[in-house]
Amino acid sequence: MESYDDWHAARAALDWHIDLGATEAICDAPINRYDLADTSAKIAPKSAAAQPAGPVMAAEPDAVGIAKSLAQQAQTLDDLRAALAQFEHCPLKPGARSLVFADGNPQSRVMIIGEAPGRDEDMQGRPFVGRAGQMLDKMFAAIGLSRSADVPQNGIYITNVVPWRPPQNRDPSAVEIDMMMPFVQRHIALVRPAVIIAMGNVSAQALLGQRGITKLRGTWMQAQGCDVLPMLHPAYLLRNPIAKRDAWADLLALKQKLGM
């Protein structure tokens, strides 16, 4: 059997077994489940006074409340990044290599909010750097926008709903999204973009409370005091090239919105 010396590999293997339906570990010795329990020996019940007190369970922390408090204290983007690094209640954090915060020019008019980091993003600590990221760069370059632009008018600023990679690149859960939203909302407030691109289903769910990106895409909406345009995720376009025509229509709508 393969040895898992790396913590992250062991965590990924455990999550894989859970996804397959394994819910308990196997005992060292076999147990005959057909044996009848021995009920011959009857034990007199102990008095209530003699019953040992059970363990006192600690109350679950209010992760969303803690996230709100940390996020509201952030006065700059550096403060917000530090607040995320300090937040210990997201179950994704221990299994991730990097905190993937943001990339691009924060003074840009366009803020792209994706879903969650993948393997390449986790390795490099930057959002959208894998194949989907390369597709994203080409998409926005086609209308004259770039994450590396020095001029804010031609720039884009990129982040994700969740800053830590979920195991096996699964979608973040509703609980994980809820506890990250105070940071996302504060991020938007600090950047103050003119337009937000909700890139993919998870982003649309987090920002707009709706799923079904193929139906939502191309329709301007409002969230966090900004105009929001839901768009198909570049990873979806890689799997479904025919949908690129819809993405191009959305890019042209964005270009018109920006008056370019």
Domain presence at residue 92: yes
Domain presence at residue 76: yes
pLDDT of residue 45: 52
List per-residue pLDDT tens for the chain, 260 residues long: 444 456 677 777 777 667 666 666 665 566 665 555 554 545 445 554 445 555 544 456 799 999 999 999 999 999 999 999 999 999 999 999 999 999 999 999 999 999 999 999 999 999 999 999 999 999 999 999 999 998 999 999 999 999 999 999 899 999 999 999 999 999 999 999 999 999 999 999 999 999 999 999 999 999 999 999 999 999 999 999 999 999 999 999 999 999 98
Question: Are 114 and 161 within 8 A, CB to CB?
Answer: yes
CA distance 48 to 26: 36
Range of the domain at 118: 63-258
Q: How many helices (H) and strands (E) does the chain have?
A: 10, 6
Domain presence at residue 26: no
Domain presence at residue 204: yes
pLDDT of residue 25: 62
Give Cα separations from 27 to 20, 66, 170 (angstroms). Answer: 19, 39, 30
10 Å Cβ neighbour count for 180? 27
Q: At what angle do helices 244-258 and 131-141 cross, to 10 degrees?
A: 50
Q: Which amino acid is located at 75 in the chain?
A: Q
pLDDT of residue 50: 47
Domain presence at residue 19: no
For the chain, state the CA radius of gyration: 24
What contacts 203, CB < 8 A, 6 or more positions away?
A: 113, 114, 115, 160, 161, 230
Domain presence at residue 123: yes
Containing H/E element for 102?
Answer: strand 102-104
Domain presence at residue 69: yes
Domain presence at residue 21: no
Residue 197, beta-bridge partner list:
112, 229
CATH number (domain holding residue 144): 3.40.470.10
User: Residue 230: exposed, middle, or buried by beta-carbon count in 10 A (0-12, 13-18, 19+)?
Assistant: buried
**Total number of domains constituting the chain:** 1
CA distance 133 to 126: 10
pLDDT of residue 128: 97
